[in-house]
Structure 1
Amino acid sequence: MRYIFKTHYAQDIQLVRHGGQVFWYSLLMAAMLAAPMWSGDYGLSQLSFVLVYAIAGLGLMVLAGYTGLASIGHAAFLGVGAYVETWCAVRGWPFPLSMGFAAALSAAVGVLVGLPALRVKGIYLAIATLSFGFIVEEVLARWESVTGGNAGVNVKPLQFFGTELGSEEAFYYVALVTCVLVTLGVMNLLRSATGRAFIAIRDSEISAQSMGIHLAGYKTLAFAVSAAIVGIAGALYAHKLRFISPDQFGIVQSIDLLLMVVVGGLGSIHGAFLGAIFLITMPQLIAMAKDWLPPAIGQATGLQAVVYGAVLMGFVLFEPMGLYGRWLKVRTWLELFPFYRRGMFKRQKSYTRSERLK
């Protein structure tokens, strides 16, 4: 078993904990860079979707996993980023500039949504974000002069300072670079004073406020950062699909994003990527399983929704830490075998002692 003895504060905030992580992350990056050689066209397309959804998952993870604010309307920010990117692409903006503009506008919208978070929380905040998602979807459908309405709009290929990046391989590398940069940005944010304030608010708003953390300011900032990251994912999402319409950013998409971070593992960077892999591969596994099911079940409408609901309920009841939490338990079992004790990961209360009388 690996023991890490820290002798300096810099060791506690460094991005990589030990040499083993450097090796495995370097190996993973080498495999991702070489993906066009071994994955094929279909596999490369699915990897691109995983990267796009992983970015969106990182945005929602900042809000729900690290700040503790529930949201069932994050598909609205995905839609804002997608439509802003489409509008900029028509006018010939280079992709880095248009993506930055999409992120900035999504962040501004996130600030507006974050205002209700100053007075409500829990299920009431979730309802507020859900209502906002309905409003954005309706605006996208009605503002036909900009969005094309329910008929949708075609999206031009990526433009990089006059060079058109229309191939699947080019888009994959753009998505990979963007995903790496966003991941590093989120990791640096979480180890900063702002990120630690987010985590303090998640763990206990009363304790955070008593330590001088301005709840209203940091909650609004969390919404803005989360919306900006999801807006970046929306910009990539638009170029990946090449066609967008308002119904792609409705309640179903929001639930998919929430399902992604819950199943992947709330409060972990790895959870966003594991959740994205789950979200992309699960429909394909369901389609394969239909061939083995009786026709009355396999051809029934709504089978995918039933499976998703059952999976979500199973994780909430039996593995609230998600796929990443399960991996941590497996890894610990392997490291401690045969001295592993069954009660090591006994589920604990999520509230602090100061809140037990509320």
Structure 2
Amino acid sequence: MFTDRNEFLSQMESVISSLEIAKDLNIHTDFFHGGSVINSSKINYIYQYIDDVFMDYFFRTYDFKEIIFPKGFCYEQITPKGIVHPDSDIIIHLNHLYDRCTFANNIWRLFGLDNYLFTVFPKNGFIKQFYLNRKIFGLHTECGVLLNEIPFNKDLDEYLDRYYTGKSCINQQFRGIEVLRYAKFLYEECEHSIYNCHPSYQLKIHNFSRGFSQIRESHLFGEYTIEDILFIYALLTDKFILNEDAFLLSICYCLGNKIENDILATFIGYETLTQDYHIIEPYICSKDLYLRFASHTNSKAFKFNNINDAIDSVQLFEQERVSLIRIGNTMPLPYLYKKLYN
């Protein structure tokens, strides 16, 4: 969200003031010394926090269509009472936090763990072609992520070499446009040299991309296509940031010449209209940032207790407790949600 040095300093000064941590961080001494960042760990925590507020605002305010997981296609539903195993259709509203967590967790299971989709798409070459991992978000929550054994990251390396002279970090000010640009690069310019040198990859990639083509236009889950569903999952788990482990790399490769996507286009429009920090300023909660610096086991300020198999209670000193969803929660902002809905 930041471009040049002066804009960065101005924006961060506002952020730090809003977070009431000006006594702990000085933008001129902590962030820059002769133009070089010298306190990267603090900056990364702040960046990630601000980005989560930014992304959460999109998911809370955009008018998403309903997503319907038919009976038998959602093994775990995340609720205030913990994880339940539904025996009927589940309707997902992405504006709601518990539904978002259920969605992210269930897509991970459907495409990487469970066999339900094979009843509709037998022997599909895209489904369950990932290996499973879990990623930590904000130190205290986790979500399942889908990783690919096919080295799609080599295409990303070629893209970075071509347009960013080998830098490993892409400017994320307009990440939606960057994703679109990368997808076009894959179809129009990329040499895919790693796959040409290793014939064994060619068959895997053919089956994988063909499997995606067979299911991408399916409306199994309601008005959204499966392609849309997977883009939403990538937005939740990757935040549309291109890196070597991103699920997004697999999707971008499979798009081929059909690059346009409604979810991606919507997010590009959102980014274009929300570059001003003041739009999200009302949703900044300093305690949510403090939480990201706290050890889950050794913090002297925060206490964590299990409420059930999906939720913790969090208490700062002797203040009121808040609920923190542990599973499927890619934007942990418990104090903001306490403020908004209690």
Normalization by structure 1: what TM-score?
0.32
Select the structure that is richer in strand: 2
Select the structure that is richer in helix: 1
Q: Which has the higher contact order (CA 8 A, sep 6+)?
A: 1
Normalization by structure 2: what TM-score?
0.33
